[in-house]
Amino acid sequence: MAINIGIKGLRGLFPEYYLDMLYEIYTPKEVDLILKSYLVGRRTTFRINRLKKGSDKTLEELKRKNIKVDKSTCFKDVYILKEKQERLLQRLESYRKGYIYMQNLSSIMPAEILDVNEKDKVLDMCAAPGGKTLKLSEKMNNKGEIIANEVNKIRYERLNFNIEKHGANNVTTLNLDGRKLMNIYKEYFDKILLDVPCSGEGTINIKNTKKLKLLKNGPFIKVQRELIQSAFATLKRGGVMMYSTCTISPQENEEVVNYLLKKNKDADILPININIPNYKKGAIFYKDKVYDERISRSIRIIPNEFMEGFYLCLICKK
């Protein structure tokens, strides 16, 4: 059931510290758009999985079952449901056979932007449930080497299920603490995708008018810093790493990258070129803090009805 609430009432659902943070980073107009996106939620999107033979028949099945979709203007083989038909989608033969993978547009972007090829050795350090791993495998034509790691045992099992179901044969999975990989794979990988555990502020979906209790970012920040340092240690010289989160807090985004730059003089930030309207450059000022100016090359995805809020930063090792 839709919640009938104005923007003033909508603001009242959020803790004061969270609103203060939003207004520090975004314009008032952008803040209103972000809060409204939390209210309406995101449209369901999915990718057609080209790792599997037979996936070319997916659109025919959608048409037969009268499931209406719009083609994404941002990504190849990505579609947006016109109506709330997720359950119908999950009943399709194409879904059961692994020809379809449901994934938000923002979640597709880290693997889409990271440039991988068939000869690369690639690490997906916090990989479950596996959507980004699958996209990397598809871009590599199921060749090269992907190590997909997940520390949580239950999520690790889900990762294995998705890897097998969707036919990613160039993937080896690990169930290890990503912070320990620096001791096993020193300067081994050409490319790394590090989508860290975070407070998830970019994915908020308001379902009632109760005051929201948001996850505190404190417990995540220490782990994020340790993970990015471990990942960077496993990156070859000349290699590239994508750091991403689905949260808005600068402490989990720009500040983590700033920490890496301070500790590693051989780290640099690469520009990201994307063709979407709802993004802005990474912040280099937040309250009384000043970050490395290179962080302005990173980007923030502003959440809307199609995309969750995301942070993306391409890091290279000189």
Mean pLDDT, each 10-residue run in order, the chain (318 residues): 68 90 95 89 93 92 94 94 87 96 96 98 99 98 99 98 98 99 98 97 81 79 98 99 97 98 99 94 97 98 95 99
127 carries a ligand binding annotation: yes
131 carries a ligand binding annotation: yes
Q: Which spans in the chain are helix H? A: 7-11, 16-25, 28-40, 58-64, 86-90, 93-96, 105-113, 131-139, 153-165, 218-234, 254-263
- If you compute the radius of gyration of the chain from its CA atoms, what whole number of angstroms results? 20
Give pLDDT, residue 221.
96
| Token pair of 195 as six digits | 């989508």
Fold matches, 32-42+105-317 and 43-103: no
**Dihedral of alpha carbons 87, 43, 252, 114, sign:** positive
Closest CA to 110 of 315, 318, 316, 312: 312
Measured CA to CA, the distance from residue 64 to residue 73 in angstroms comes to 23
Domain boundaries, the chain: 32-42+105-317, 43-103
292 carries a ligand binding annotation: no
The SS3 assignment for 279 reads strand
168 carries a ligand binding annotation: no
Orientation of helix 218-234 relative to helix 254-263, angle to 10°: 40
Measured CA to CA, the distance from residue 276 to residue 300 in angstroms comes to 11
281 carries a ligand binding annotation: no
Closest CA to 202 of 83, 102, 84, 299: 299
The yes or no reply on domain 32-42+105-317 and CATH 1.10.10.60 is no
The pTM is what?
0.95
111 carries a ligand binding annotation: no
Residue 242 in contact with residue 252, Cβ under 8 Å?
no
What's the CATH fold of domain 43-103?
Answer: Alpha-Beta Plaits (3.30.70)
Active site residues: 246
